[in-house]
Structure 1
Amino acid sequence: MIASTIALAVLAWALAWPIPARLSRAHWTSRAPRTALVLWQSIALTGGLSMIGSLLIFGLSAYGDSPLSAGDALVRETLAGGIPDGATIFQVGSLSFAVLLTGHLLLNLTATFVRTERQRRRHLDLVTLLSDPVPGEPRTRRLDHPAPVAYCLPGAFRSVTVLSDGLLDLLDEDELRAVLEHERAHLQHQHALVLLSFRSWGNALPWFPIAHLAETAVESLVEYIADDQARTVVDSHQLASAIALIGSAGAPSGAVHADSPARDYRVDTGVATTRIRRLLDGPPPLEPRVRIAILTGAILLLLLPLTLLLTISLVA
């Protein structure tokens, strides 16, 4: 079990810094944002499982030679109010930290979700009160505001896209269609939940710099994914024009965090420039065989901690 502990610890370290840092600088991610998003999710989940797993396996090594027998012995010893003979303070501390870390992550995720849902419902009530339906566009509201703003409010049963008068006056029909499709892509692909999980990870581990690096990378990827869906119904130049017009009109800028109830049509100068360049002069999409290879690697990576645990059980 000690060898598996070391293997999981090495994997957790690799997924905590060198691999994500390299991925965040990779240029291919903008060519295959969906594939890159799956890889980021695999890295985050596998890294967490490996970190907790290494602590758990090391702690359980005091109770037995395999996870199953050690788990059974842990329950019996705990109910009896004792610890095994020969158990060190490091093994007991490792086991305790694994339990506390798991609870901390799950509680933080739950708290972030509950807070976000409460904010979303309050925001949706205000939007319903202060806006009017857009004729011909289901689940779309028109807000009386001069600034060009578009955002979506996701929900399990009620989702809505909000457009301002300033936006409707600024864009032509095709540009407006591009913005609507962009926002609907966020709703369709549940990007709010994806961002919420990464935001929760960053809130739970504020001392963990890679969590914030991953969140920033994922925020860009979901914008690329929404852009790609928007340009299936309009020309890339029309979408780029809409982004440029909104940015030049002085719409609110900056990222909208996952614990915010809304997803803004972002016009941050740096992000907007990158998106426009990608739409107009970006390289072609990644080849299918390369995307398949990356997705296969992401799946195998996710299965690696489970494989190590099964190997321990079979060998023992």
Structure 2
Amino acid sequence: MTPMNRRILLASRPQGAVAPDNFKIEQVPLAPLAEGQFRVRNHYLSVDPYMRGRMNDVKSYAEPLALGDVMTGGTVGEVVESKHGGFAVGDKVTGVFGWQDYGTSDGAGVRKIDDTLVPATAYLGVAGMPGVTAWYGLNKIIAPRAGQTVVVSAASGAVGSVVGQLAKLAGCRAVGIAGGAEKCRYVVEALGFDACVDYKAGNLYRDLKAATPNGVDGYFENVGGEVFDATLARMNPFGRIALCGMIAGYDGQPVPLKQPSIILTMRLLVQGFIVTEHLALWPEALGTLVALVAQKKLRYRESIVEGLERAPEALMGLLQGKNFGKQIVKIA
């Protein structure tokens, strides 16, 4: 009997917020492997904000998904069949196999992982793309120095949580911005940030000012909108801003800056970046991150939902800020 592969496709483009009818689930037979290929049974799927942008038919850093394409996404899993000399049955791997039970590859972009060092799911978060994103933006753009103040938005999320902890390890004052008292408690008490501002409390600028008495030297931006405006107003001269995401505008909402002149008057460096354009640095970053996790010097939290069919729900919740830590779907 031919094995079947469940997969979730992009059925329609969102008009505003992502909705369940933007997706379609189907089952298709698996094709036989060609020489030089191997097949992976995906165990876990990463759910990330960038997926929202790939659903739109607009010019961006990557081609949009076509209607009918399998939704994109990083996975970890196990090789279950192989005609490739470099990958054997039983190897644990991570790659971009998307929202489906199985992935087929010739090895390009696939890495073997050691889940005896850190749990497999960590390779989708703290020791994977989100962790490398945090490492790159902090070290290569913000370039923090001991004693400086680093602020990060979405501080309880997969990227923001790593930024703040790495900033603390660099000797900085780390201040997070997160949504809700529970998330802020976690950021301070579990992750070790010096302070966390609850943007939902209604006093964003005042609370941020109190948390950054010496201003802000480095800012890691994941959100945009009001959060970006409030932090801009606290930036010190020659501050550095790593622009990673603008999730406040991903559903088409306008996110204009209220005081863009601050960028000029404070002589700020504002640098957007896409971490997959810096693959040469990934081995260094991943080596550092895996070691820190293994040594329990880097903490993380995961939100895991079970079942491939719940991936759309997980993405919609992520875009609404319902996740706590790294959002993952358990497939197998």
Structure label with greater radius of gyration: 1
Normalising by the smaller structure, the TM-score range is under 0.3
Instruction: Please identify which structure carries the higher helix content.
Output: 1
Which structure is higher in RCO with an 8 Å CA cutoff and minimum separation 6?
Answer: 1
TM-score scaled by length of structure 2? 0.26
TM-score scaled by length of structure 1? 0.27
